[in-house]
Structure 1
Amino acid sequence: MISGGMLILFILLSLWSSDAVGDVVNTLFVYASDIFGAYWQLLLIGNFFIGLFLAFSKYGKVKLGNQDQPKYSYFKWVSMILVTLLASGGVFWAASEPMYHYMTNPPLFGGGDFQNINAAFAQSFMHWGFLAWAILGTLAVIVMMYVHYSKGFPLKPRGLLYPIFGEKIYHKSAVGTAADVFAIFATVAGTLGPLGFLGLQIAYGMSHLFGVPNTLTVSILVIIGLVLVAAISAATGVDRGIVTLSRYNVGFTIFLAVLVLIIGPTAFIIDAFVGGTGVHLQNFFTMSLFRGDEGWLSSWTIFFWGWFLGYAPMLIVFISRISRGRTIRELVIAVSIVAPIINNFWFSIVGGTGVFFENKHPGSVSDSLNEGGMPAAVMAITDQLPLSVWFGVGFLLVSIIFVATTADTMAYTVAATITGNDHPKRWLRVFWALIFGGTSAAILTIGEDSVASIQNSIVITAVPVSILLLPTLWCAPRIARTMALEQGLIWQRELLKKVDK
């Protein structure tokens, strides 16, 4: 009721005065970036390295979720993990961000225009790579799975505070309620933005490819269609709908990527991936902890960190649900290493193709990006390829499926958070999927600026969420040790020491 009421109030205020709401959101965004930006950078880098330590330590063999064997195959499991973050940037950010950094040099690599392709991809890899993925489901998932599956408490974001407050966090706790409310509100804000935004993008693509009028009505119809698919998927649950849609999504994306890799500039794409990865790893700490040029930092790195932090609690709930039977090592490697590498290679394929043609024919992609935004960049890239219409349709289909998987996953996790268990009722899952679509369509009628405001608002809600995630940095290692003792993975004398204490 609280989170839903806050959402409705936000929508009503936007209808009443979208300019005033936009101004407030932008002002709060600046404050959030200035005050919490450095903290977010330290939080993400700490989360990543503590996770790696646990994975490759004696605690790496600890099994999660009170289950000996995983329910899903490795491919299905990783597929469901991949669609969580790739859905937000899978096509449009992959096409545009390397191009933006290619056209205008990130401040870390010097000022002015440049032709340093490796630096452009390194910056994109940093934003969508190891740190971004790790915060979505490593240390916090270890804590959440222990609290839910070992201790038997509800599957709610407030569970991340259980190691500090104990059982009272679940019993009429104002702190616990606040944790759940901010997590739900951040998820809703983060889902509505991409839904509305990608509805506009897909409508643009349909207009470019098939001459369909690029109107508000078409955008709303696109969103309605997407949400109906998401509602059907959510209704069938994780074991059927979500896992099936995720598997086909990743499978089709791989197929499209292989085609572009073969038909497109193969050598250039591979060079961009290898060279960009080299620059990224060589400057990992410098890029991750860069504090110069506040304006650029707020628009890029801090914006992304806030966005991913806001998404994190619900994705933690979802990844906890699908990771039973996996070890800590498997979890950390899949989320922090495997998923980012796949993500970065996809960025190299899509963005690398665009940068190649821009480098060869200046203006062939950048003109469209500057005039029509990210959707225009995707279509400009496919226009340069053989069978351009078919590739355009392929990218359009990938976008559609990514949006549908985002909506059904978020509908499931919000329903799970409200009910406190990992099998929420079907009607509740469908209800939230429809609410996402209906609200996104309503927001589009206000104007595109409102979609951007709502998408930016997730950065504001990331402030309390980032505080919620901080204790996992020291609670996850303690819980890993406790589970290692329970599972007989560390020496008996350590158990005796614990009993003596």
Structure 2
Amino acid sequence: MLSKTPDNGDKLVPQITISFISLFLFWALLDMQGLSQIIQGLFEFSTQLLGAAWQWMLLLNFIIASVIAVSRFGKLRLGNSSQPDISTFRWLSMIMCTLIAGGGVFWSAAEPIFHFTTLPPAFSHSQPQTPFESVGPALAQSFLHWGFLAWAALGTLSAIILMYAHYKGGLKLRPRALLYPLFGGRLENHWLGSIIDAFSIISVAAGTIGPIGFLCLQMGYSLEAVTGIANTPFVQLCILAVVVAVYSLSAASGVDKGLQWLSKFNVIGASLLMLAVLFLGPTTFILEQFGQGFSTYLLHFGQLALTGSNPEWNQWWTWFFWSWFIGFAPVIAIFVARISSGRTIRELVCAVAICAPVVTNFWFTVLGGTGIFFELQTPGSISDPLAAAGLPAVLIASLSQLPLASILLPSFMLLSTTFVVTTGDSMAYSIAASVSGDSEPTKQHRLFWAIAMGLVAGVLLQVGESGLKALQSFIVITAVPVSALLATTLIGGPLVVYKMGNERQQCEALPTDCAVSVIS
């Protein structure tokens, strides 16, 4: 029997979270080399211990969510509204721009080139005879990392459980509520629930701070390439200050104002730029390779999802991405639950696990496929900048070869910034909600976490790129305890859906009105 600690339980969450992050920062400032060595050792241990389990967990999550969506349970309505609270366009925009869009902007141009130049292990048995034959496998591997499994982990079963626990069970929207199907409300005021929340917040904070910091490095590189302004630490900090100021102001305005406006801007801007690159670039090649890459992705889906033939490769690719998304999942699911009241299970799963991945994969083909096309035409035109300057160089090298590059380059720089701003905004809200337990956290609380993440990114930038790389490995470590929490949704999700189905049948048998949460 779990004992409750109602007076101290909620205080533990900010105490643990702030103490842990502060310790990381002080250690980084005092001894970055020693900290990096410890983190690297824990990183290797974590991936070796759980890498294969993460692969199975994400695959099962997607399969279970898809089966529920196409079954009769897919018509069950979530939340406390008979109709959606947010318009479909705004809802989809917020999902697309919040979940993995910030990371997707960074990787969309670069990852396909990585896999094009070095064939992934899943295709090592069938070595292509020509470079052109490597395009499909390269895109397919990128589609896996930013496709069905990744998106489904972030907002399907977990969001369903949270919405049921909140609207039906009366629990606050916090990571601990994911255990509601197994423990009911016993963790609501228990110290163990506070520890679960704290680790979930630490994980998502690390996963958000990383892209914020890397954005500053990318923007610094891009500014130097486009304008000639030297990429100095001072310039990077100025960029960071602007980014933090914008997403802090948006976070202060609330989900219904700043975040919706930013999401709408991002979707419209990304669509226009995608069309521009599509029609100014190798249009036929992009369309053909999207079909080829997606068919390869589907044909080798199981093999791509579960391959473990090269653990060293998986550590820095599939297992890193899976741990990153797992770490995000509980807090991201809170955000999805917050904006999805009135949607059916089928709508939620189709939007998050099917539609969003297909759009993301096409985005990867437009940007990554353009780079591959130029690499095929002139070997080294993209891969050499990648080898010399890393990830930021790929987008610059690709766009520079298109017409209207002087317009496209600053436009993509702006888009990269607004995507990360949107992610920072939504994560500040979700972290504040998790810490406070309020579905509408106060403006001051949202601002605190928005600014705190920016300050941590600033300190790590001063430490140098090694600080952000250590944080990148740290993301994997923080995902270890969160993965245990997320694994319970494989059982908890079906249990909740089954309860919702039974409640609906009971409602239909009664002459009185039923709860909105089970009306289709």
Q: Report the TM range for the smaller structure's normalisation.
A: over 0.9
Shift of 1:92: 2.2
CA contact 1:80–1:246 (8 Å) conserved in 2: yes
Match of 2:84 in 1: 70
CA contact 1:224–1:438 (8 Å) conserved in 2: no
CA contact 1:194–1:455 (8 Å) conserved in 2: no
| Superposed counterparts of 1:76-475, under 5 Å | 76-110=90-124, 115=131, 116-174=134-192, 176-475=193-492
CA contact 1:91–1:378 (8 Å) conserved in 2: no
Summarize the Cα distance change of 1:215–1:486 in structure 2 as closer, same or farther, 3 Å threshold.
same
Q: Distance in 2 between matches of 1:382 and 1:232?
A: 31
Shift of 1:485: 2.7
* SS across alignment from 1:212: coil
CA displacement, residues 263-311 of structure 1 (integer Å, 9 cap, x when unaligned) = 1100111112110100010010011010101111111100100011011
What amino acid is aligned across from residue 341 of structure 1 in structure 2? V
CA displacement, residues 168-215 of structure 1 (integer Å, 9 cap, x when unaligned) = 2112332x1221011000011111111111111011111111111110
Q: 2:496 aligns with which of 454, 459, 479?
A: 479
Q: Which runs of 5+ in 2 are unaligned?
A: 1-14, 511-520
CA displacement, residues 288-343 of structure 1 (integer Å, 9 cap, x when unaligned) = 01010111111110010001101111100100000000000000000000000000
Shift of 1:492: 5.5
CA contact 1:91–1:395 (8 Å) conserved in 2: no
Shift of 1:491: 7.8
Summarize the Cα distance change of 1:316–1:347 in structure 2 as closer, same or farther, 3 Å threshold.
same
Q: Distance in 2 between matches of 1:226 and 1:123?
A: 31
What amino acid is aligned across from residue 118 of structure 1 in structure 2? G
CA displacement, residues 212-254 of structure 1 (integer Å, 9 cap, x when unaligned) = 1110000011011001000111011001111110111111000
CA displacement, residues 428-487 of structure 1 (integer Å, 9 cap, x when unaligned) = 111111111111111111110110111221111111111001111121112112222323
CA contact 1:90–1:402 (8 Å) conserved in 2: no
Q: Distance in 2 between matches of 1:92 and 1:234?
A: 23
Which piece of structure 1 moves more, 477-486 or 224-233?
477-486
Q: Distance in 2 between matches of 1:99 and 1:455?
A: 21
Aligned length: 492
Summarize the Cα distance change of 1:150–1:443 in structure 2 as closer, same or farther, 3 Å threshold.
same
CA contact 1:368–1:380 (8 Å) conserved in 2: yes
Q: Distance in 1 between matches of 2:501 and 2:269?
A: 39
CA contact 2:103–2:211 (8 Å) conserved in 1: no
Percent same amino acid at aligned positions?
44
TM-score (norm 2): 0.93
CA displacement, residues 316-374 of structure 1 (integer Å, 9 cap, x when unaligned) = 01000000000000000000000000000000000000000000011111111110111
CA contact 2:80–2:167 (8 Å) conserved in 1: yes
Match of 1:498 in 2: none
Residue 58 (str. 1) matches residue 72 (str. 2): yes
* SS across alignment from 2:82: coil
CA contact 2:204–2:331 (8 Å) conserved in 1: yes
Q: CA RMSD in A?
A: 1.4
Shift of 1:91: 2.4
Q: Distance in 2 between matches of 1:334 and 1:403?
A: 21
